[in-house]
Structure 1
Amino acid sequence: MAAGDASCELQKPRKVVKKLLARPQHEGVGAVVRRSIGRFELRYFDPFLVLDEFSVTAPAGFPDHPHRGFETVTYMLQGEITHEDFAGHRGTIKAGDLQWMTAGRGIVHSEMPAAQGTQKGLQLWVNLSSQNKMMEPRYQEMQREDIATVKRDGVEVRVIAGESMGIKSPIRTKTPAMYLDFTLKPSAHIRQPVPPGWNSFIYVLEGEGVFGRENSTPGGAHNLLLLGHGDGLEAWNKSAEPLRFVVVAGEPLGEPVAQLGPFVMNTEEEIDRTVEDYQRYVNGFEKARYWTSKAMATEDF
């Protein structure tokens, strides 16, 4: 019996159309990320700009840096990261916790290790439409115990955004999106509906699974699997070990993308204005003029 939505009969299950192994690269200061979306083979998968599986051990990290024009979704898998920004927002994101940050017109913040050993997690960048790029910044944060979790027929799903197995997340996404964390025991099988017009992908965290078709080539850890068109996905764990993966889907914006590092707008002219705003501390970056994170003030980077 399939879990996910046991009553769901998919008319057109999505097939895996592209498979990418996310290889380690250096980002921030001494941090290591496995980047799958946002590298040369896959610059953009509308509306997703970047997907990083990060690994950080102090004193490495992501010291003070700006964002404009998109949302960052930080989902911790192991350890703890302390986040602080120029508006006075500060907190620690622990294993299993979620932070959905809408940078909008401007955020300057830092993300640094808060525990011994290696901190691991996923960070997804979700593009904002032209009408939302200059909105006021906001945060939506959920602790591990507050994320809706359902267990059924050898399947566990944590509903970060969207809906699965009859449970909806309270997270409000400016760009319509789904984000689900599945763990399948050996022999478990899921069907998960996905809105037909949305782009979707799977990122495998642990184990090895079969996705799209029962006779497909298995996909293992650190692999990004882009899914084609259809009304949902199917996945099987045919191995003897647990399988863990995230399913992410979003409604394409269909707008031009102009990007310069942490700034994502629609035109090069808007990027030029953003750089000028940041350098002059105006139009959303006013609080950056005299702000330095506590991490930067106490560490030698």
Structure 2
Amino acid sequence: MPEREDSWGVLEPRQVVRKFLARPQHEGVGAVVRRSIGRFELRYFDPFLVLDEFSVTAPAGFPDHPHRGFETVTYMLQGAVTHEDFEGHKGTIGPGDLQWMTAGRGIVHSEMPAAQGTQRGLQLWINLASQHKMIEPRYQEISSKDIAEASKDGVKVRVIAGEALGTKSPIYTRTPTMYLDFTLKPGAHLQQPIPKSWNAFVYVLEGEGKFGNAKSSTTSAHNLLLLGSGDGLEAWNKSAKPLRFILVGGEPLGEPLVQLGPFVMNTQEEIDQTIEDFENYVNGFEKARHWRSEAAIELDF
């Protein structure tokens, strides 16, 4: 097999095998999301459970709700969101900031607007392997100024997780994951390696571009592209405006999946146990009995 010419070359480009537009739908209380993964067209793309591009204007938001068995990754594009949970953790993430939350055995939290106007961002749900589903909750938060960035030949990347253009993220991913925010100037061409065994997708945020094949049809904002087999992604910006998209890849878990809303386990028995734990405030949900977020109290949710 020939050697790569550089550290970011691609020998077997992944082609786009499926494409669809993420249309707006209502979630939370008065919030609007463009859901791509997690809709009826694409229930699960191992290990990814949900991808939402959210738009929230106060008083709408995502008041107190539980999670178990997976991770949520919140990446702000515009505005700010305040997060509170029953462990006493509270913080606000603004434009370009990141929160990587491992729900593990259980968390109850709220996510509400913290600025005027519309707050926009992405939230990705990543499944956890059965051996990690009941670990203690944890957080990794990185401010925008601390997210690793690199540029080359008209390509700029923010490395949220994984590695690109020789730059690595400090984020630890329990389920091996890459999460890259690319911006291509007009005329730019990207080659980004992806581990062959991983599933991967592109979600376009701004502009329009060609993915997988220089002769492919142009894809614009709010479209999700599932990528086929290969060792990396090729993308081109042949327009007159910048192209911005995220490239996300992850190692498939290959395990049974049973999901009931915010609870994601491996068997129906585990889901039944999770519901019982939550309703009885036990086995990780003890602090939910007497906790309400400040936002919920203020809004009387």
- TM-score by structure 1 length? 0.98
Give percent identity, aligned residues only.
Answer: 76
Task: Say if 1:48 and 1:127, in contact at 8 Å, map to a contact too.
Answer: yes
Counting only pairs closer than 5 Å after superposition, residues 90-101 of structure 1 correspond to structure 2 as: 90-101=90-101
Letter in 1 for 2:239: S
Report if aligned partners of 2:7, 2:165 keep a CA contact under 8 Å in 1: no
Query: Where does residue 296 of structure 1 map in the other structure?
Result: 296
Partners of 1:150 and 1:272 in 2: how far apart?
46
CA distance in 1, matches of 2:211, 2:143: 30
- How far apart are 1:7 and its partner, in Å? 4.4
Where does residue 219 of structure 2 map in the other structure? 219
- Using the TM superposition, give the Cα deviation of residue 155 of structure 1 relative to its aligned residue in structure 2, in angstroms: 1.1
Task: Name 1:282's counterpart in structure 2.
Answer: 282
Which letter does structure 2 place at the counterpart of 1:210?
A: K
Per-residue CA deviations over 1:186-213 (Å, capped at 9, x if unaligned) read 0001100000000000000000010001
| Structure 1 residue 278: Cα displacement | 0.2
Task: Give the equivalent residue in structure 2 for 1:121.
Answer: 121
Q: Deviations over 1:254-286 (max 9, x none)?
A: 001000000000001100000000000000000
Q: Does 1:233 align with 2:233?
A: yes
2:20–2:225 CA contact under 8 A, matched in 1: yes
CA distance in 1, matches of 2:95, 2:7: 32
Partner of 2:261: 261
Q: Which residue of 1 aligns with 2:10?
A: 10
Alignment deviations for residues 238-257 of structure 1 (CA, whole Å, 9 cap, x no partner): 00000000000000000010
Q: In structure 1, the residue corresponding to 2:297 is in which secondary structure?
A: helix
Shift of 1:77: 0.2
Q: How much does 1:11 deviate?
A: 1.9
- Which structure 1 segments of 5+ residues have no match? none
The 5 Å alignment of 1:1-301 reads 7-301=7-301
- Name the CA shift for 1:84/1:126 in 2 (closer, same or farther; >3 Å): same
Q: Is the 8 A contact 2:7 2:166 kept in 1?
A: no
Matched to 1:132, the amino acid is: H
Check conservation: 1:6, 1:191, Cα contact below 8 A. no
Give the Cα–Cα distance (whole angstroms) in 2 for the partners of residues 114 and 199 of structure 1.
34
Inter-partner Cα distance in structure 1 for 2:174 and 2:137: 12
The CA deviation at 1:8 is 3.5
Instruction: Show structure 1 runs of 4+ deviating over 6 A.
Output: none
- Over residues 123-164 of structure 1, what are the superposed CA-to-partner deviations in whole Å (9 max), with x where a residue is unaligned? 000000000000010000000000001122111100000000
Counterpart contact for 2:49–2:127, Cα < 8 Å: yes
What one-letter code is carried by the residue in structure 1 that aligns with 2:228?
G
Name the SS for the 1:37 alignment partner: coil
**In 2: Cα distance, 1:8 partner to 1:151 partner:** 12
The one-letter code of the counterpart of 1:271 is: I
User: Residues 21 and 224 of structure 1 are in contact (CA less than 8 Å); yes or no, is this contact kept in structure 2?
Assistant: yes
Helix, strand or coil at the partner of 1:39:
coil
Unaligned runs of 5+ in 2: none
SS at 1:216's partner residue? coil
**1:226 aligned counterpart, secondary structure:** strand
Distance in 2 (alpha carbons) for counterparts of 1:213 and 1:62: 39
Whole-angstrom CA distance in 1 between matches of 2:10 and 2:162: 18
The one-letter amino acid of 1:79's match is G
- Give the whole-Å Cα distance in 2 for the aligned partners of 1:136 and 1:147: 25
Secondary structure of the residue that 2:124 maps to in structure 1?
Answer: strand
SS in 1 for 2:36: strand
How far off is 1:300 after superposition? 3.2
